[in-house]
Amino acid sequence: MASFTERMIGAATLNVKTYEEVEHDESALPQAMAVVALSVIASGIGSAGFGGSRGLVGGLITAGVGWVVWAGIIFVVGTKLLPEPSTKADFGQLLRTIGFAASPGILNILGIIPFFGWLVRLVVWIWQLMTTVVAVRQALDYKSTGKAVVVCLVGFVAYLFVAFWLAAFFGLGGMALGR
DSSP sequence for the chain:
---HHHHHHHHHTT-HHHHHHHHH-GGGHHHHHHHHHHHHHHHHHHHHHHHHHHHHHHHHHHHHHHHHHHHHHHHHIIIIIS--TT----HHHHHHHHHHTTGGGGGGGGGGSTTTHHHHHHHHHHHHHHHHHHHHHHHTT-S-HHHHHHHHHHHHHHHHHHHHHHHHHTT-HHHHTT-
Whether 175 shows a pLDDT value over 70: the answer reads: no
Instruction: Give the pLDDT confidence score for residue 79 in this predicted structure.
Output: 94
pLDDT digits (tens, 9 = 90+) for 132-154: 999 999 999 999 899 999 999 99
What rounded mean pLDDT belongs to the chain?
90
Instruction: Give the pLDDT confidence score for residue 110 in this predicted structure.
Output: 94
pLDDT digits (tens, 9 = 90+) for 81-135: 999 998 988 999 999 999 999 999 999 999 899 888 889 989 999 999 999 999 9
Instruction: Give the pLDDT confidence score for residue 173 in this predicted structure.
Output: 56
To 5 degrees, how large is the angle CA 18–CA 88–CA 6? Answer: 10
Indicate the domain borders of the chain: 4-176
Instruction: Give the pLDDT confidence score for residue 179 in this predicted structure.
Output: 39
pTM of the model: 0.89
